[in-house]
Every structure is written in structure tokens, then in C-alpha cells.
């Protein structure tokens, strides 16, 4: 019986499709002199308690990127909002590509303004 369960797990394992989706919040660094939270990862925690079935927890960095040795990515092309809109990229696609939430909001605002003025 145990052998059958183990065999079944290994047979069905290739059909499991797991995708990790990470989108950060508050990624705009306006002034590093202030002690604000930034680069936050918001996690929804589900509990079995019916009075409060889910909670939002934020994990944010407190150190500024200037304190780390982060190298710029020179391999990929940087696209403007105009170039993205010309290629018919949607905000939903940016979300699925794990773009930061504030960038997605700014892009959607750009798209809304473009459609308003057209």
C-alpha cells in the first residue's frame, strides 16, 4: 500500500506545475536620507481561524541599495513606457513577469493617460 502511494506520487509529479510569483512594493527610492521601508514583499497568510482567515505580512528592507555592491544589468535592453505600449504590453503581463508593483501602477497610469488623450 505504501509502495503504491510512493509510486503514484512519482508518476504524477511531472504533471505538477508550480510557479513562483514575486512582486515587490515600494521600490522607488526617492531619498536615501530618510529611514523608510522599501523593497517590500507582501505575503498573505491563510489561517484556519474563521474570524480572521487571512493576514497580510510585509517583509521590507531597511538598508539602502547604496550600501550593497549591486551592479547594473548591461545585458538587457531598457524599455520606455512608450516602447512597451507600442508592443502592446499590458499591465497584467508586467505583473506576470514579476515587475515591481509601483512600476506596474505607473505604467497603467501612463496607458490610461494615453487612451484619454487619443
- Give 99's pLDDT tier (boundaries 50, 70, 90): confident
Burial bucket for residue 107 (CB in 10 Å: 0-12, 13-18, 19+): buried
pLDDT at 50 over 90: no
Mean pLDDT of the chain: 75
State the Cα–Cα distance between residues 112 and 73, nearest whole angstrom.
29
* Percent of all residues in the chain with a pLDDT value above 70, rounded to a whole number: 53
**E strand spans, the chain:** 24-25, 38-46, 54-61
On whether the pTM is more than 0.75, the answer is: no
Amino acid at each position: 500500500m505504501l509502495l503504491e502511494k510512493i509510486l503514484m506520487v512519482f508518476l504524477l509529479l511531472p504533471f505538477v506545475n508550480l510557479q513562483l510569483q514575486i512582486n515587490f512594493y515600494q521600490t522607488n527610492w526617492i531619498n536615501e536620507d530618510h529611514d523608510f521601508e522599501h523593497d517590500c514583499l507582501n505575503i498573505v497568510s491563510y489561517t484556519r481561524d474563521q474570524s480572521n482567515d487571512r493576514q497580510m505580512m510585509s517583509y521590507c528592507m531597511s538598508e539602502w541599495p547604496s550600501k550593497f555592491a549591486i551592479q547594473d544589468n548591461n545585458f538587457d535592453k531598457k524599455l520606455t513606457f512608450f516602447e512597451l505600449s507600442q508592443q502592446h504590453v499590458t499591465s497584467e503581463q508586467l505583473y506576470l513577469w514579476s515587475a515591481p508593483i509601483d512600476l506596474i501602477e505607473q505604467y497603467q497610469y501612463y496607458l490610461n493617460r494615453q487612451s484619454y488623450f487619443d
